Structure 1
Amino acid sequence: PEINPEFAAALKKNKAATKVYEAFSPSCKREYLEWINEAKRDATRTTRIEQAVTWIAEGKQRNWKYQNC
């Protein structure tokens, strides 16, 4: 999937998130891109972008909550 322009801009503003995102595997990147692109409403997409940048800056993959189950 293509990167959403708003997501790309948000990543560019946060250097820590950009560095971590670039280090992610292609499948990790795809999970975030699909999650953001699946949003039907602009408000939902904006919220997901903000949340994604926060998680990425912390080094978390998309489904980080379920990794240690």
Structure 2
Amino acid sequence: PDRRQLVAVQTPQAFRAKVLRDAHASNPESTDDATLVETNGGRVVVVHGDPLNRKLTTPEDMNWARAITRGEV
């Protein structure tokens, strides 16, 4: 795909509960809420996030978070 058309996505994603439930009912195996909602005719709106809002999963992520809290980044 044309990389100019791509955006980085952060969590959490927010949807109206009924829209999300209906979308998942149509494809319970899907793991991406935004794609699922769009595929079911829903509208996804992109809002600006913050690069410091990162998911903390790995030990490296935790080291990064500690550095942030100490003011090192």
Q: TM-score, normalised by structure 2?
A: 0.29
Higher RCO, 1 vs 2 (CA within 8 Å, ≥6 residues apart): 1
Larger Rg: 2
* Bigger helix fraction: 1
Q: TM-score, normalised by structure 1?
A: 0.30
